[in-house]
Structure 1
Amino acid sequence: MSYEAWILLTASLVGASCALVGTFLVLRKMAMLSDAISHSVLLGIVGAYFISQSLGSIYMLIGAGIVGLLTTLFVQLLSNRGVQSDAAIGVVFTFLFAVGVILLSLYGGNVHLDVDHALMGEITFIPWDTLEIGGIDLGPQAVWILGFVLMMNIILTALFYKEFKISAFDPEMALAIGIPVTFFHYLQMTMLSLTAVASFDSVGAILVVAMIIVPASTAYLLTDRLIHMLWLSVLIGVLSAFIGYYSASFLNVSISGAMASATGILFALAFLFSPTNGLLGKWLAKRNVRATVERG
């Protein structure tokens, strides 16, 4: 595959993986938890390096996964003690992210980890970091890792689709019929943590947050059916990757920044022109109702 194709494939895998997880977060009104985890996993990545003295992807996944779950636990703990959920998210993720930044600044000077890289990523380097087995070049490591995470998200979503759906729309009913809501909550948080860290090195925290929240929010404006929302979210995430890449190439700007901007542009279009939930659609519906009343 060409250099450009590897970058597009990597970004598309990020968009698809994040969109699947983000759909349920948006429905559960927990979208900003993705921002908390996407930033706080920096501490897990730094901690994994200090313990293992290796930048191997498996250590990064484990470290970030642990910190991602700790973030969820701390947010839940504060919320249960009376702290508003948005405030709890802000307190936890800023503290953990700040600790990660401090440790990175103090002890990480000799490795290719830095705060700018953590926030923006560098997807242009992805094709050069390849996986070799038996002397055979199998392509970029990021593609294999993101492919594995995407398959994991697809399998878990397919297996527990009913449980995820009921827990998202009516958690009280889910408890009443015996669904372990807490278990599925932390399962989704684990999926979120692994998705975030798998995407982290490729595209940075900013694009991870954008891909988790914005495609799902855009799809929410376009359909009222969950299965359609899942597919639309994935499609919008992949489309944003393509639009962002070619825009960045044309304008000579940050690829990750352009992809994040593309998600915002697609959301704005849906917000304005969605047939049922868009501003124009609502205005036309009100005008039709007014005209009907006046004729009657």
Structure 2
Amino acid sequence: MIEVLIVLIVASLATSILGVFLVLRNQAMTTDAISHTILLGIVLAFFITQDIRSPLLIIGAALVGVLTVYLIQLINQTDLIKNDASIGIVFTALFALAVILISRYADHVHLDIDVVIAGEVLFAPLNRIEVFGFSIPRALWQLGILLIVNVAFVALFYKELKVSSFDPKFAYVIGFSTTLIYYMLMTLVSITAVAAFDAVGAILVINFFVAPVLTAYLIVKRLDHMIYLTALFAVLNSTLGYLIGYNLDLSMSGATASVAFIIFTIVFLFKPDGYIVLKIKKRRQRKEFMHAMILMLMNEDEHETVTPGEISRHFSLTEPETKKQLETLEVEGYVTRADDRYRLTVRGEEFTHYSRIKYGLKAH
């Protein structure tokens, strides 16, 4: 079973390192298209070779992956439809064609559509290969080579990838071939996708390309730090997914994808400038603004003292909302109450002066 974990980790590392540049280029969903349309390349190559393990299947898948990218770019260049729409039309057309060909002409071959889509990494160790006298899973051998190739590609073309991802126009001006770099990247994405595709299925391939990167993107903004943190999350997602799937007898692919989503959600919600912190900050700002408006109303000459009813009518607040605001202001020492009327304290006047400066308002 340890081989299953190793396959998961190597697959996640090989895919996520390329996923960094897909996310930075706003092309994360292109991975979804490629991970499905490469099935057409596999099917067409199988029709030629009649061998489910032929290396030509990877070549065919890679060519269809590049074709997918080319068609998406071609449609985008017309400016007639948006990028997500062009991805949707190309992806569904090519994938549907692959499904039709499998169901019509290759139903006797081990190209089961359900396994292809959902994947089952537990089967990866069953398909083995002899390497230097050692028997290892074929998927591990293929993905291991691709991990080395992808790391080498990023290391050798780091500067070009960085510039073309953040500022393609500047890259073009200084002489970088953005088109060449782009298609080199997409070719590797296609080859990596088909290798991972066979081991873990299309759904987890998409997750591996995108989820670790998006989680890292929420935390750091420097590219080198993002790559390192992406690798860390890729290993963490795979390890936890494996442990949960193994101990609870669940799908490894499903467990790994679920873990990736949970970790992303935790970071999204609870990081220092995450969703919850921002919501609390905005709520505090709204509360502070309402306090300032009430105090400024009371600071006007004609409203030296006010009743809750006057405040409710002026700001269209309900009676409970007005009561809550005034109670808070009284507790914080900004107002005092005499019978049913409220008056500013010295502290309230100072806060009003500060608020006028902060919000750029003038006294009446």
Q: TM class by shorter-chain length? A: over 0.9
TM-fit CA distance, 1:287:
8.2
Q: Which amino acid aligns with 1:157?
A: V
User: Structure 1 residues 41, 133: closer, same or farther in 2, change over 3 A?
Assistant: same
- Secondary structure of 2:58's aligned partner: helix
Q: CA shift at 1:23, angstroms?
A: 0.6
Q: Do structure 1's residue 185 and structure 2's residue 182 form an aligned pair?
A: yes
1:265 and 1:57, CA in 2 relative to 1: closer, same or farther beyond 3 A? farther
Q: Any residues of structure 2 matched to 1:95-244 within 5 Å, and which? A: 95-132=93-130, 136-244=133-241
Give 1:282 shift: 3.3
Task: Tell me the alpha carbon deviations over residues 235-268 of structure 1, each in whole angstroms, 9 at most, x when there is no partner.
Answer: 1111111111111122222111111111101110
One of 77, 82, 86 as aligned partner of 1:84: 82
Question: What are the residue-to-residue correspondences of 1:50-69 with 2, within 5 Å?
Answer: 50-56=47-53, 58-69=55-66
Displacement of 1:132 in angstroms is 2.0
User: Take 1:288 and 1:206, find their aligned partners in 2: how far apart are those partners?
Assistant: 41
Deviations 1:91-138 (A, max 9, x none): 00100000000000011122111111110122111112111258x343
Unpaired runs of 5+ in structure 1?
none
Q: Is the Cα–Cα contact under 8 Å of residues 119 and 204 in structure 1 kept in the other structure?
A: yes
How many Å separate the matches in 2 of 1:230 and 1:22? Answer: 9
1:64–1:193 CA contact under 8 A, matched in 2: yes
Q: Quote the residue 2:358 is aligned against.
A: none
Question: Residue type of the partner of 1:103?
Answer: L
Corresponding position: 1:280 with 2:276: yes
More displaced, 151-160 or 107-116? 107-116
* Structure-2 change in CA distance of 1:288 and 1:227 (3 Å): farther
User: How far off is 1:284 after superposition?
Assistant: 6.4
Q: Give the TM-score normalised by structure 1.
A: 0.93
CA positional deviation for 1:199 = 0.1
CA contact (8 A) 1:121 1:202 kept: yes
SS in 1 for 2:55: helix
What amino acid sits opposite 2:183 in the alignment? Y
1:21 and 2:18 are equivalent in the alignment: yes
Question: How many pairs does the alignment contain?
Answer: 290
So what's the TM-score if we normalise by structure 2? 0.76
CA distance in 2 between counterparts of 1:282 and 1:181 reads: 37
- Aligned match of 2:267 in 270, 273, 277? 270
Distance 2:181 2:135 in 1: 35
CA deviations on 1:58-99 (whole Å, 9 max, x unpaired) are 222101100000000100111112221111000001000000
Q: Between Structure 1 and Structure 2, which shows a larger proportion of helix residues?
A: 1
Question: What is the rounded CA distance, in whole Å, between the counterparts of 1:285 and 1:177 in structure 2?
Answer: 43
3-state DSSP class of the match of 1:139? strand
SS at match of 1:54: coil
Question: SS where residue 271 of structure 1 aligns?
Answer: helix
Any idea what SS the aligned residue of 1:218 has? helix
Larger CA deviation: 148-157 vs 246-255: 246-255
Following the alignment from structure 2 to structure 1, what is the Cα–Cα distance between the partners of residues 236 and 182? 29
C-alpha distance in structure 2 between counterparts of 1:57 and 1:244, whole Å: 31
Residue 101 of structure 2 aligns to which amino acid in structure 1? L
Greater Cα shift, 247-256 or 177-186: 247-256
Q: CA deviation at 1:42?
A: 0.5
- List aligned pairs for 1:33-44, cutoff 5 A: 33-44=30-41
Contact map agreement 1:61 1:194 (CA 8 A) in 2: yes
Equivalent of 2:27, from 17, 27, 30?
30
Partner AA of 1:229 in structure 2: M
Aligned partner of 1:7 in structure 2 is: 4
How far is 1:288 from its partner? 9.1
Per-residue Cα deviation, 1:148-173 (whole angstroms, up to 9, x for no partner): 11111100000010110111111111
Q: State the one-letter code of the partner of 2:14.
A: S
Partner AA of 1:65 in structure 2? A
* Distance in 1, Cα, partners of 2:40 & 2:90: 12
Name the amino acid aligned to 1:48. A
Partner of 2:347: none
Instruction: Compare relative contact order (CA 8 Å, sep 6+) and give the higher one, 1 or 2.
Output: 1
SS at match of 2:201: helix
Where has structure 1 moved over 2 Å in runs of 4 or more? 280-291, 293-296
Measure the CA separation in 2 of the matches of 1:91 and 1:286: 40
- The aligned amino acid for 1:282 is L
Query: Cα distance, 1:281 vs. partner?
Result: 4.0
